[in-house]
Amino acid sequence: MRNRCVLILLIALLSMPPLSAAAEPVRFAYPAKSLNYLPLILGKHKGFYQGEGIDLELIQVASMISATALMTGDLEFSGAQAQVMAAAAKGLPVKVVGFITVKPSFWLMSKPEVGSITDLKGKIVGTTAIGSSTDTLARYLLKKNGLVPDKEVTLFATGTTANILAAMKGGSVDAGMLSPPFHAVAKILGFRILAYLGDYVEQSLSGIGTSEKLLRERPETVKKVLRATLKGLRYVRQNREESAAYIAKEWKVDRPLAEELYLSMVPVFSLDGSMGEKGIRETLEREREKLEIKEEIPVTRVVDLRLLKQVQKEF
């Protein structure tokens, strides 16, 4: 009888699925719950990171300090692409290892009576902060259209994108740099779209940045995070209904607005975690100008896509 019980117990144990190793804790910082990070946030919800053995903790951190936190080891990854690139451009030991977006998800919007960008002469344009992506791209766009920032057009820092829209509604600014969902709300309120920045520049506002130390010591961790992120990018692109429903729920907007937000974001996302070299070089040139670095910045100082290319071969 005893032998029979032992045999039954042994069969039961052998039939059980193998116990998986504990998931590896990974802290990933992002500056705001923006749709630029939809593949990351939705990817966690769908279990893509857990499936790779990664216990992903998404932490909202001010973009200005995320690069420093990578170097101190307080964070493993940062999605604040512009700040990671700027830090690497200055020679700090951090690298961009993948891209979530390849176009800036910003729309320059204005009062209905402003018919074109050149009509902004003598007017006020709202941005989030001096030196931010909204500020840098607004200056680029104004110069591209023959206007001189700070002389012919006033750039006014409001602090947040929500504040830009509030200032537009209140009339204290004539135009503003808006990202989703605020650009769609502004359109509903009757504001005019003057430009979509993605028609002018290639620039990544969200991606995957990490420290050179982590790249050296934990390359498999980097590959797991990259692999899960690529799954997120693919899922968003291939599942319109589910993605729009998730936007409606998580961003607390109605379904028609969620559909519009989804459609506005799809062209912004990278197809496979990479970005064209032309876009990377032009972004670095803008960073060089902003940081007042005289010498040319080598792409290899800022970007390391070797592990990404390995992961891409699996898809």
Q: Decide if 13 is inside a domain.
A: no
Q: Residue 145: pLDDT above 70?
A: yes
CA–CA dist 264, 248 (Å, integer): 14
Q: Is residue 222 over pLDDT 50?
A: yes
180, 291: one domain: no
Question: Secondary structure of 67-122 in the HEC alphabet?
Answer: HHHHHHCCCCEEEEHHHHHHHHHCCCCEEEEEECECCCCCEEEECCCCCCHHHHCC
The Cα-based distances of 307 to 225, 246, 273 in angstroms read: 11, 30, 11
Residues in the chain, total: 315
Tell me, yes or no, whether 207 and 307 share the same domain: yes
Q: Is 47 exposed, middle or buried (0-12, 13-18, 19+ CB in 10 A)?
A: exposed
114 and 95 assigned to the same domain? no
Percentage of the chain beyond pLDDT 90 is 70
User: Quick one: 121 and 182 in the same domain?
Assistant: yes
Looking at 199, 221, 247, which one is the last position of a domain?
199
Percent of the chain with pLDDT over 70: 93
Q: Which residue has the higher pLDDT, 136 or 1?
A: 136
CATH number where 84 lies: 3.40.190.10
Last residue in a domain, options 138, 166, 199: 199
User: Sign of dihedral through CA atoms 96, 198, 39, 66?
Assistant: positive
For residue 141, give Cα distances in angstroms to 94, 149, 286.
29, 10, 12
Same domain membership, residue 54 and residue 184: no
State the Cα–Cα distance between residues 34 and 31, nearest whole angstrom. Answer: 8
* Residue 254 belongs to domain spanning: 24-103+203-312
The rounded mean pLDDT for the chain is: 90
When divided into structural domains, the chain yields a total of: 2
Domain for residue 14, yes or no? no
- Top-confidence residue, 284 or 262: 262
In a domain, 59, yes or no: yes
Residue range 43-63: mean pLDDT, rounded: 94
Whether residues 257 and 292 fall in one domain: yes
Q: In this structure, is residue 143 part of a structural domain?
A: yes
- State pTM to two decimals: 0.83
For residue 231, being part of any structural domain is answered with yes
Tell whether 16 is covered by a domain. no
Query: Mean pLDDT highest for which of 178-182, 195-199, 219-223, 256-260?
Result: 219-223
What pLDDT score was predicted for residue 286? 81
Query: Would the pLDDT of 18 be above 50?
Result: no
Instruction: Say whether both 145 and 181 belong to one domain.
Output: yes
Strands 124-127 and 175-178: parallel
Domain boundary among 180, 199, 218: 199
